[in-house]
Amino acid sequence: SQTIHQWPATLVQPVGSPLSLECTVEGTSNPNLYWYRQAAGRGLQLLFYSVGIGQISSEVPQNLSASRPQDRQFILSSKKLLLSDSGFYLCAWSEGPHTEAFFGQGTRLTVV
């Protein structure tokens, strides 16, 4: 069966420090991969998605970037974190058209 792993679960980082959040999917090949940010009262905001290795689509211009170095690995990064980057980040995957998305456990990022 397929599983999605996202780590770390919580992270406290100082302003101006770099960020790297990792997400991996097991049990499937060539998944579509997603990064979302969840904020209270604002739902889930789609940040990036990828339909293949090296293919990244950005939905919201911001201080973050994403990369997909391997088929089942999706990384969310920042060179210099801002206070406004604090939030709950969710990774998700889907098999393609006419399928649902499956979510990881999320990472609570606090920028101090």
- Which residues make up the interface to other proteins (CB under 8 A)? 32, 34, 36, 41-46, 49, 51, 57, 59, 90, 92, 94, 97-98, 100-106
Q: Which is nearer to other proteins, 45 or 65 (CB)?
A: 45
Q: Which is nearer to other proteins, 78 or 94 (CB)?
A: 94
d(CA 83, CA 12): 11
**H helix and E strand count, the chain:** 0, 11
Structure tokens at 48: 């990036």
d(CA 92, CA 104): 6
Residue 14 beta carbon to other proteins: minimum distance, rounded to whole angstroms: 27
Residue 102 beta carbon to other proteins: minimum distance, rounded to whole angstroms: 8
